[in-house]
């Protein structure tokens, strides 16, 4: 079963937060995403059920191997697409917003071609 876009967004957010601070809890995600704590709790329960995350007794969130792989893939797409859009003349704010939407639907083939093109430019 493929993960939904919202699940990918949560995993990406957890990865970003874990790079900023060692331990991540649901409240951190709610604040970062500007979502209600009940919404975040529901999403985290679903991600736990689908074996993307583990949550310990103190509420600290950790990735399963499967979850980390998805999070890193989505975050890489976000960074590469943002870089690509900026390089073709899009302002950084718009590039970031567009990358956030496109990262969930772009095919592996198209993404690989963009990465290849960016390497040629460097």
The domain spans of the chain are 5-69, 74-121
Pick the CATH number of 74-121 from 1.10.1760, 1.10.10, 1.20.120, 1.10.60: 1.10.60
Contacts of 62 (CB under 8 A, 6+ apart): 53, 54, 55, 56
Residues 23-27 have a mean pLDDT of: 95
Asked if the domains at 5-69 and 74-121 fall in one CATH topology, the answer is no
Tens of pLDDT, residues 70-102: 999 999 999 999 999 999 999 999 999 999 999
- Per-position DSSP letters for 72-100, written without gaps between them: HHHHHHHHHHHHHHHHTT--HHHHHHHHH
Give the model's pLDDT for residue 120. 86
Place of tokens 């999070």: 71
Q: How many CB atoms lie within 10 A of CB 42?
A: 12
Pairwise CA distance, residues 80 & 113, whole Å: 11
Residue 79 dihedral angles phi and psi, to the nearest 5°: -65, -45
Architecture of the domain made up of 5-69: Orthogonal Bundle (1.10)
Beta bridge partners of 55: 61
Q: How many CB atoms lie within 10 A of CB 110?
A: 11
pLDDT band at 1 (very low <50, low <70, confident <90, very high): low
Residues 40-67 have a mean pLDDT of: 95
Contact of 67 with 47, CB cutoff 8 Å? yes
Contact of 95 with 85, CB cutoff 8 Å? yes
Beta bridge partners of 53: 63
Give the model's pLDDT for residue 43. 95
């Amino acid at each position: 079963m493929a993960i939904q876009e919202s699940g990918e967004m949560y995993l990406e957010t957890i990865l970003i937060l874990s790079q900023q601070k060692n331990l991540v809890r649901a409240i951190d995600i709610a604040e970062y995403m500007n979502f209600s704590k009940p919404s975040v709790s529901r999403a985290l329960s679903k991600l736990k059920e689908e074996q993307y995350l583990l949550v310990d007794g103190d509420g600290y969130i950790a990735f399963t191997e499967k979850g980390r792989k998805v999070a890193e893939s989505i975050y890489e797409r976000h960074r590469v697409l943002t870089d690509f859009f900026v390089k073709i003349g899009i302002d950084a704010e718009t590039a970031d917003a567009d990358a956030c939407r496109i990262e969930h639907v772009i095919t592996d083939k198209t993404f690989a071609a963009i990465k290849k093109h960016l390497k040629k430019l460097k």
